[in-house]
Amino acid sequence: MTTPRMVRHPELLSGDALPLIRPGYRKLWWGLVPVVVVTVAGIFTGGQDWTMGLALLALWLVWCGVVWLDHRAWLRATDNLLEVRSGFRSHEVLGADVTRVKHQYQGRSPDFQIRTRDGRRVWVPASKLERGHSTFFTWLDMHAPQAELDPKTQWWHDQMVANEQI
């Protein structure tokens, strides 16, 4: 059994759900602009071009569903329990059950996948949440020091330690 690593910021494990970095409202409004422009242009030209506006409206509604689903990300670290929600699925993971953590590329900022003893794979959407990475790594250091980190995850962890974020 390995011992927990030293943590500089235990207040990150306050037990509160982390807020999203960016709410999806801006994406929804910018997605609505082309719908309005094409619909108004179709109405004023007097042709059948307004049907293109209806098609774009249908696409925009699908886009609203995608943004809503994407912004359901949630993470809360309380004691030995990590509660995670991404999309429709919610998971609870005990620190003692974590065996491996894998880096998942998400553009500029990574997310992580936890592998548990019973074979479950849990997606941690750390890139979408304020203090998501620091809270996740603090929880790992305190409650799952036995977890094997892949090289990229270890690099991110080392960067956060060097910058005194955890």
Per-residue pLDDT of 114-156, as tens digits, reads 999 999 999 998 888 888 888 899 899 888 889 999 999 999 9
pTM value is: 0.75
161, 140 contact by CB (below 8 A)? no
pLDDT in tens, 80-99: 899 998 777 889 999 999 99
20, 73 contact by CB (below 8 A)? yes
In order of 32, 47, 133, the CA distances from 130 in angstroms are 27, 48, 8
Name the residue type at position 22: R
Residue 105 phi, psi (nearest 5): -65, 130
Residue 78 structure tokens: 């309380």
